[in-house]
Amino acid sequence: MSERVEILGVKVDAVTMAQAVALVEELITARKPSIVATANAEMLMRATHDEELHQILNAAELVVPDGAGTVWAAHHLGYEMPERVAGYDLVQELLKLAPKKSQRIFFFGSATGIADRAKAKAETLYPGIEIVGTRNGFFTAADEPEIIAQIQNSRADILLAALGVPKQEKWLAAHKSELNVPVSIGVGGTLDVMAGAVRRAPKWMQRAKLEWLFRAMLQPSRAGRLIALPKFVLKVHASKK
Ligand code: UDP
């Protein structure tokens, strides 16, 4: 396993994209139901006051450094953190490999129709890919047995859960063993971006570490969430020994 560095009590894997992909592939081969989380500053902040999320992240098989904030925090605390591994990019790498490895993928989450549009996009981008099921992410407790059965029957190797943080992590942790999927990943807005419903920041903004600003501009309803970022910076600094 890779080295894990602790940021605000959460152990994050110090991995490159290539290492993250290799680790996910190992988890698929091992076939023991595993959870992969993509930790950005907002998720790490939430874990400081959400004990359930905190425990789920520290029990996850892989926690990748998603976001410039996470990489900054690791460096500020004196750890090595080779690069940002954005959840969206990790998913694209895995989808690219899936046809070659005959892996089956399930898209779960986002508003009605989004997962199907993301599936159509994946089929164009990655010929031969097997998206073996889709299901929107708005449901009641009464719908859950049917959703679980749909995922089980799909015999997926990778489950992408796009229910938002922390719902996706909690749902995956609660149902991990019955779902019996080798790798489940909480992917936030990834299906929205694949479906073309939400745009990703242009590359220059990603390079300038401004993806968070772009997201807030595009979806002003998210702007309130920005307050987590300066709080994160202060908290990481205060935790420095
Ligand atoms: N979502 C969902 N079910 C819910 C709440 C949210 O499927 O009960 C979806 C929502 O439509 C969106 C995704 O979860 O596609 C959350 O995306 P966001 O970019 O907000 O992710 P986060 O920043 O929370 O990871």
Two tokens, residue 39: 């930790």
Bridge-based pairing state of the strands 4-7 and 104-109: unpaired
- Best residue for ligand 1 mutational test, from 66, 163, 217 (most atoms within 8 Å of Cβ): 163
Tell me, using a 6 A CB cutoff, whether residue 192 lines ligand 1: yes
Return d(Cα 100, Cα 47) in angstroms, integer. 36
- Best residue for ligand 1 mutational test, from 88, 110, 211, 222 (most atoms within 8 Å of Cβ): 110
Whether residue 189 contacts residue 118, with contact meaning beta carbons closer than 8 Å, is answered with no
Tell me, using a 6 A CB cutoff, whether residue 162 lines ligand 1: yes
Query: What atom in ligand 1 is closest to the CA of residue 109?
Result: 7
Tell me, using a 6 A CB cutoff, whether residue 167 lines ligand 1: yes
The overall pTM is greater than 0.95: yes
Question: Given a cut of 80, is residue 141 above it in pLDDT?
Answer: yes
Residue ID of nearest Cα to ligand 1 atom 4: 163
- The predicted-structure confidence for 196-213, as pLDDT tens digits, reads as follows 999 999 999 999 999 999
Please tell me the distance between residue 230's alpha carbon and the centre of ligand 1 in angstroms: 23
Return d(Cα 137, Cα 159) in angstroms, integer. 13
User: At CB < 8 A and 24+ separation, what contacts does 177-180 make?
Assistant: 177/33, 178/148, 178/152, 179/33, 179/148, 179/151, 179/152, 180/33, 180/152
Whether residue 158 contacts residue 105, with contact meaning beta carbons closer than 8 Å, is answered with yes
Please tell me the distance between residue 91's alpha carbon and the centre of ligand 1 in angstroms: 16
- The predicted-structure confidence for 34-68, as pLDDT tens digits, reads as follows 999 999 999 999 999 999 999 999 999 999 999 99
Query: What atom in ligand 1 is closest to the CA of residue 137?
Result: 7
Residue ID of nearest Cα to ligand 1 atom 19: 189
Mean pLDDT of the chain: 96
In order of their start, the domains of the chain are 4-199 (3.40.50)
Lookup result for tokens 């989808």 = 95
Question: Given a cut of 70, is residue 176 above it in pLDDT?
Answer: yes
Two tokens, residue 125: 């981008």
